[in-house]
Chains A and B, each alone.
Chain A
Amino acid sequence: MSANRLSHRASRHVKERIIESILFLAALVSVATTLGIVYILVKESVVFFNQVPLWDFLTDTQWTPLFDDAHFGIIVLLSGTLVSSGVALAVAIPLGTLIAIYLSEFASARAREFAKPVLELLSGVPTIIYGYFALLFLTPLLQKLIPGLPGFNLLSAGIVMGIMIVPYVASISEDAMRAVPMSLREGSYAMGATRLQTALKVVFPGALSGIAAAYILGISRAVGETMILAVAAGMQPNLTWNPTESAATITAFIVQVALGDLPHGSVGYQTIFAAGLTLMLLTLVFNVLGHMMRRRFREQY
């Protein structure tokens, strides 16, 4: 009987080990995903950069990878990405901050209970729907305000993209503001400050690194956004800093190439991986920066 029990225990031990290994492998899948992304992007980009010098890639001012006279100036796509992201931030930062301050410092608990899920729903709308909205609702509206605005433009795509990232910016900023200790607020109120004065002079500076993290993560979102731009900003590469023009972004270019029928292994095929690598590095810088600031902020309190 006791020997039987012991052997049972031994098999139990083996089973436990096997289960632990399986769970560990599942956790490793995420690492494998990252390695896979880096491997694919770097592998195809190396082939690409063997044919197109890195210097040309960074300095050329034309982007015509599919023409006979091919030029590969990433700055052209980068300008579209940066302008649309700039417009998005010009919408998302003021609105997001305002909503965050309101929810954290002004709103009653009930209003907050209601508003947060609604904001969550807003951020759950598929981006293709926002793209439709930008192209077929906002652009005609803007065309009445700005005569001569082309049907595809960075402005309308950027504004809608900004509205899309408002919930994201607001929720991270609000978390940061709520993490500021109540004692600081109470001290401020005791000095006779109003809610606004407390919010702007005590809570906001106190949560600054957390709020900055929200902005930076918002930028990263905007830079990586694809469908709104592919639908509403057009797919014509255009080196411009003017949001009322149409221009392709890095992401829109990838979509455009993927929609066509490019043979595997051609330069055009490799181009999208080089563009993807650029995008990846760009968002990585913002993400790392954002997470660092968020962590520093958490340590602060």
Chain B
Amino acid sequence: MKQSPRSLRSLPPRGHVSTFGRPGGTDMARMARKDIGEIRGIIARAKRLDVIFGVAGLLALGLGLLTFATLFVDMALDGYSRLTPDFFTEFPSRRAERAGILSAWVGTTLVMLVTACVAVPLGVAAGIYLEEYAPRNWVTDIIEINIANLAGVPSIIYGLLALGLFVYEFSLGQSILTAGLTLALLILPVVIVATREAIRSIPSHIREGAYALGATKWQVVQHHILPYSMGGIMTGVIIGMARAIGETAPIITIGALTFIAFLPASPVTGTFPFLSFEWLQSPFTVMPIQIFNWTSRPDPNFHANAAAAGFVLVLMTLTMNGLAIWLRYRIRRNIKW
């Protein structure tokens, strides 16, 4: 519906003014011609401005794109020489050319595992409660306002919460568990909001049909609401995880070390019961902290390492965000209630 308005196009063309038919009224004809000339000028100016603004908008958009491309290419060029297989299998080192990101990516993976295990069930459960169960009262209002406010709390504040609460009051230490829990709380609002949006888009006749067959509330949720909203929930979870993977400030605040030259205990062991949770208490480092550490060193050789690690991190978040966007696009196209 947004066609450019062809305003005043129906004005008589230049030469036709005199045919307005005022016998002998040459003065008026001249005035009319002058007015029309003026109006045309105004229109031309307005249209010119319109085009100029359109181009400016496009340029602004292009600037955003350009920044992104520059950032990406800059990182790739700076870090290119360091992106060897060894880079992924070496521990950090005092010598830039021998340093790698092994402990960083293992730490990131394990922290993300904890985050997902905590944030997904909690966030989905909270979203289901708010959409399907919550009565309209002040408790629900408080929960909703609270979630909206939490989404705006700076991430470093979560770090302070974790430092005071998890590290010292609960004595969890500066461990993978603490970091995972912190990031889980941080992305909880994202998961809750995505879950609620996904559930809200399910039309109520689905629920009514199930209730009419005698299903309980939980059966409706389990058999209908959850499966149908799964795509939307996944989108939210991926976006949340992509955010968590790049978060640096809260993890630095809890006091994660920047130099780790060992791996946490393996979660899978050779003896019964084959699973070990020792790694949860292990000190760790993560990708963003490793990048921060290398970036803040004055030696430019370490900057190349930072660029290489940064490139890997950007690629990871890009893939995750891209996946989420693609998923959302597919859901929008495929689901027709």
Contacts and interface: CB of A to CB of B under 8 A. Distances in A.
A117 interface: yes
Interface in A96-147: 98-99, 101-103, 105-107, 115, 117-122, 124-133, 135-137
Contacts of B248: 126-128, 226-227
Given A24-B129, A27-B125, A120-B321, A226 B154 contact: yes
Given A99-B57, A124-B239, A126-B247, A33 B292 contact: no
B171 to A, nearest CB: 11
Contact of B288 (A122, A128, A272): A128
Contact of B295 (A15, A40, A136, A272): A136
B252 A259 contact: yes
B143 A283 contact: no
B249 interface: yes
Contacts of A95: 60, 63-64
Interface in B129-167: 129-130, 133-134, 142-143, 146-150, 152-161, 163-165
Interface of chain A, main secondary structure: helix
Contacts of B110: none
B160 A125 contact: no
Given A167-B64, A226-B156, A251-B249, A231 B2 contact: no
B146 A259 contact: no
B5 A126 contact: no
A33 B20 CA distance: 77
B242 interface: yes
Contact of B74 (A26, A137, A199, A290): A137
Contacts of A132: 75, 291, 295, 306-307, 310
B47 A194 contact: yes
B149 A23 contact: no
A259 B165 CA distance: 18
A89 interface: no
A6 to B, nearest CB: 14
Interface in A161-196: 163, 166-167, 182, 185-186, 189-196
Interface in A260-291: 264, 272-273, 276, 279-280, 283-284, 287-288, 290-291
B42 to A, nearest CB: 10
A50 interface: no
B8 interface: yes
Nearest to B168: A264
Contact of B154 (A196, A251, A258): A251
A41 B313 contact: no
Contacts of A279: 154, 156-157
A34 interface: yes
Contacts of A10: none
Contacts of B130: 27
Contact of B164 (A40, A98, A288): A40
Given A15-B218, A20-B133, A34-B146, A254 B156 contact: yes
B275 interface: no
Contact of B134 (A27, A44, A167, A190): A27
A33 B188 contact: yes
B29 interface: no
Given A125-B317, A126-B313, A23 B126 contact: yes
Nearest to B258: A259
Given A20-B217, A107-B57, A193-B5, 10 more contacts: A16-B218, A24-B129, A95-B60, A117-B325, A129-B313, A132-B306, A194-B46, A199-B53, A276-B156, A279-B156
What are the nearest 5 A-B pairs in CB distance? A126-B246, A224-B154, A102-B57, A192-B7, A26-B125
21 contacts: A27-B134, A27-B143, A30-B147, A34-B149, A99-B64, A102-B57, A119-B64, A126-B245, A129-B291, A131-B292, A137-B70, A167-B64, A189-B5, A194-B4, A195-B50, A224-B156, A226-B248, A254-B249, A259-B252, A272-B160, A283-B152
